[in-house]
A = this chain, B = another copy of it.
Amino acid sequence: MGIPEIKKMIADLSSKKIGMFHKDFLLTWEKSADELQATFLVADILRAMRVENVSPRLWHSGIAVSNFRDNSTRTRFSYASACDLLGLYVQDLDEGKSQIAHGETVRETANMISFLSEAIGIRDDMYLGEGDKYQREVAKSLDEGVASGVLPDRPTVVNLQSDIDHPTQSMADLLHLAHHFGGLDKLKGKKIAMTWAYSPSYGKPLSVPQGIIGLASRFGMQVSLAHPEGYGLIPEVVELSKKQATTSGGSFQHVNSMEEAFQDADIVYPKSWAPYHVMQQRVPLLHANDQAGLKDLEKQCLANNAKFLDWECTEAKMKLTKGGKALYMHCLPADITGVSCKAGEVAESVFDRYRDDTYREASYKPYIIAAMILLGKRQDPAATLGQLLERAHAREIL
């Protein structure tokens, strides 16, 4: 990498047809192929600039709102790093975790926090049927705020995980794959096994597997979704992924066997999640703060999970993959058998071999988030990046 490579990527970016300005990044399947590629390009450009000690700081001042309705360390740091890289100061909006505001409160709060804000990152993955809806309500309020002249500019909303999609994760994952295999175009025809795995916990959101099948199916990959019966994802997302796979020249397989999914896979992504219907049952219990009901549901769910203890990514299963050498992926933290739990998603020796790969996978997230913000805030992102390059302000005095 070097300055000439960065210039080439900026030229490449300027050839993309994108309409992301003053829009939000909520679901990858709402974005065109060019827009996805633009996001990857900007992420790579920002990363390369940093390596070359060219500051990608766009803003001399500006606020980035963070709204985490769920605990988070990884995404919080990724978001803070992305915002800081662009020059934005992160201010937390803490509305409490127990219930989501609607209507007047959302409209008002969205405006009140946005007078000098450039971006709003929202994580809300606990309540099936609500996270994405809430993000759209915020976005609509911002549109109205701009239309009425209350807001001087439109902050861009970035989905930091909703009930439906987890685009900062899936986009970072795909960028990792692009780097690993030597280019986005190299993903065509590669088989990726997105499979459920056993975990001694419950209630893990569906957004990661949904995000992966919803995005991998855009790049001509052979997507294999596997889970025990009764552990389905949101049906609409599965349907959409099937269609996308066909359109992009890939394929989509939906099986109830980890082994079948692993067969000849180039990439495996074994990860636990709660069944769709359980997530549905949880919502009224969470709203009612019904601890006894939640405890009961947990018990049932864990008892059911226990029937699928063999859904573990073991060395034996890895042998089934292409040349026994599929790339193992995980959004972290993984439930590692004998390390973080007695029995979990992955065998210790498998995880050990791929640990650095999973760390590398995670390392793309700050740049993906920064790219999403930049693309939501600039009509001609290539021109902006060109200016940053020309300005050549050092990120650090050496």
Q: Interface of A with B (CB < 8 Å)?
A: 50-51, 55-63, 65, 73-74, 76-78, 80-81, 84-87, 89-91, 93, 95, 103-105, 107-109, 111-113, 115-118, 145, 148-150, 152, 332-333, 336, 339-340, 355-356, 359-360, 362-363, 366, 378, 384, 387-388, 391, 393-398
Given contacts A55-B60, A396-B58, contact A74 B112 (CB under 8 A): yes
A84 touches B89 (CB 8 A): yes
Residue among A90, A116, A388 facing the most chain B CB atoms (10 A cut-off)? A116
Point out the residues of chain B lying under 8 angstroms from A340, CB to CB. Answer: 104-105
Q: In the assembly, how many copies of this chain are there? A: 3
Point out the residues of chain B lying under 8 angstroms from A84, CB to CB. Answer: 61-63, 89, 116
A363 touches B60 (CB 8 A): no
Can you identify 13 A-B contacts, CB atoms within 8 angstroms? A50-B116, A51-B152, A57-B60, A59-B395, A60-B394, A61-B86, A62-B84, A76-B91, A81-B117, A104-B340, A149-B360, A150-B360, A384-B398
In Å, the complex CA distance between A58 and B391 comes to 17
In Å, the complex CA distance between A152 and B89 comes to 23
In Å, the complex CA distance between A80 and B90 comes to 9
Residue among A55, A57, A397 facing the most chain B CB atoms (10 A cut-off)? A397
Shortest C-beta distance, A42 to chain B (Å), equals 14
B397 touches A339 (CB 8 A): no
In Å, the complex CA distance between A59 and B53 comes to 10
Point out the residues of chain B lying under 8 angstroms from A387, CB to CB. Answer: 397-398
